[in-house]
Amino acid sequence: MIDIEFMQLNATHPSDFIYGVRSDYWLLLFVKSPALFHLPSVDVVTPPNCAMLYPPKTFAFYQAHDCEYCNDYVRFYTDESFVFDENIPTETPILLRSPSEMSYLFELLSMENFFKFTYSQQSISMIMRMMFLKIKESVKDTGMSEQQRALVDLRYEIQLHPYYQWTVEIMAKRLHVSAGYLQNIYKKQFGISCMQDVVEKRVDYAKNHLVNTDCTSQKIAQMCGYQNVEHFCRQFKSVTGMTPLAYRKKAIAEREKK
């Protein structure tokens, strides 16, 4: 069971921020800015997008480093075995492989904790288990370069928000590389061009709305980031081999047979 004592997203503090406390709860930080951690044996300056886990009874002592400080955090009590996993180092900054994933999980966790849905307790446990798995992945993937991490994060962002007005230039700017270089390394990393990846993620997004809503093709096209429905239909057919309406009829018919 996970009992959340308190949590906050995007907690922001000025450049002179310092925090130090010893408590009875667990503390999981997702630090989005540079920070200085005062650890038992050494002081460590960390880059943005690090995770830090403090067990109960330890002294959490950290501060901003040369700029405004920002983090997501959750304070919690638990008897869940995955939290005690010895493969997750405590009081150790861990550079996250894909910070967008952690940010998204914190958002889900905050929603479940705030609204208290019927199965929120189970959902909270599952979300936090996923958080810990992502931290374990980052611990093991120490051989991944910063550029590879940035590419994985970009692709995850495309998957989460396929309806953004993605262009090669916008994506290249995020990675601080040229458009031509981005196209080369993206295809090499994932086996697909960056813009084709956007198209396929948009089509996946459209499929869900075609089957689970009664929205028109024009409405779904807008929801997927298309400026006109004709362009949407052409790209949908190029990926699936059928029009959006034909896909809807077939998917609904197959579902009704089950």
pLDDT value of residue 142 = 57
Count CB-CB contacts under 10 A for residue 73.
19
Same fold, 2-140 and 146-194: no
Which stretches in the chain have pLDDT values below 50? none
For the chain, the domains span 2-140, 146-194, 196-257
Domain formed by 196-257, architecture: Orthogonal Bundle (1.10)
State how far the Cα of 100 lies from the Cα of 50, in Å rounded to an integer.
Answer: 12
pLDDT value of residue 143 = 58
Domain formed by 146-194, architecture: Orthogonal Bundle (1.10)
pLDDT value of residue 86 = 56
pLDDT value of residue 159 = 80
State how far the Cα of 27 lies from the Cα of 76, in Å rounded to an integer.
Answer: 7
* C-alpha dist (Å) from residue 92 to 11, 31, 125, 184, 258: 21, 13, 23, 35, 50
pLDDT value of residue 42 = 81
pLDDT value of residue 152 = 76
Superfamily name and number for 2-140: Regulatory protein AraC (2.60.120.280)
Tell me the per-residue pLDDT of 42-92, one tens digit each, with 9 for 90 and over. 888 898 999 999 999 999 999 999 899 999 999 999 988 888 865 788 888
